[in-house]
Amino acid sequence: MPRLIASGEVEDRYLFRYTVSEFIEGRPLKDVPLTDAEKRAAGRQLREICDRWNTPCVPWGGAELPLSVQYEDGLREDGYTERFIAQRAQYLRDLPLDPVEFVYCHADLCMDNYLLRENGNSANGEIVILDFADSQYAPICVEHAVAAAGFEFEKPYIQGFFGDISAEGLTDLCLKGLLLSINGRYIFDYFCPAAKIGSLDFLKELLRDLIVNGGPK
């Protein structure tokens, strides 16, 4: 990850906390042509990075946001159906969450946020993860689910990041993790228009199809 240079906060209309990191010469990973073997290596490297920071930490807020009335209002503005919103709320209320599951999560792992250092021409080089603005105190399944969606469920990346995991196991993980993610609503809408996601069963089947097919058809 980038070396931290400075951090602080500025209070205006809202309290804005910021960090300043080193400048990194590199290329967006998504722009680097990779073989399937290199994509698996990249997935493994990214998992190793995440495993180092997905550790217990002091809660700093944000964990409750996906359960809030404001978040549900946002779902309505995005076009999600009332049936889906109600089922989602019930699922989250019934979800047993063990405090030991909560860790520091980057929570926005996607191809736009991966940089390959300039001296690397393949995934054998060092990958740097950028943009920590959406970091979340959350169960580790949030980090893993967002990572899977960020790969657009492409199989070589999934194999590298998750190793040997069944389609059913990854589907259940992604359903739970993305429903708990502050970015889940945007991720669902990326793969299917919000208005078409009429139930949790529909969403689960959508995720399973993405996983089995290795991404959108």
User: How much is the CA Rg of the chain, to the nearest whole Å?
Assistant: 18
Buried-state track 199-215, b at ≥16 Cβ within 10 A, e below 16? ebebbeebbbbbbeeee
| Rounded CA separation 207/215 (Å) | 9
The tokens of 62 are what?
A: 């944000």
Domain ranges of the chain: 28-213
Query: Is 0.85 topped by the overall pTM?
Result: yes
pLDDT tens for the chain, 217 residues long, are 678 888 888 887 777 777 888 888 889 999 999 999 999 999 999 999 999 999 999 887 666 778 888 899 999 999 999 999 999 999 999 998 888 889 999 999 999 999 998 664 554 689 999 998 889 999 999 999 999 999 999 999 999 999 999 999 999 999 999 999 999 999 999 999 999 999 999 999 999 999 999 999 8
Among the four given CATH numbers 3.90.1200.10, 3.90.1300.10, 3.40.50.300, 3.40.390.10, the one describing domain 28-213: 3.90.1200.10
Beta-carbon contacts of residue 5 (< 8 Å; ≥ 6 apart): 20, 21, 22
| Rounded CA separation 159/78 (Å) | 32
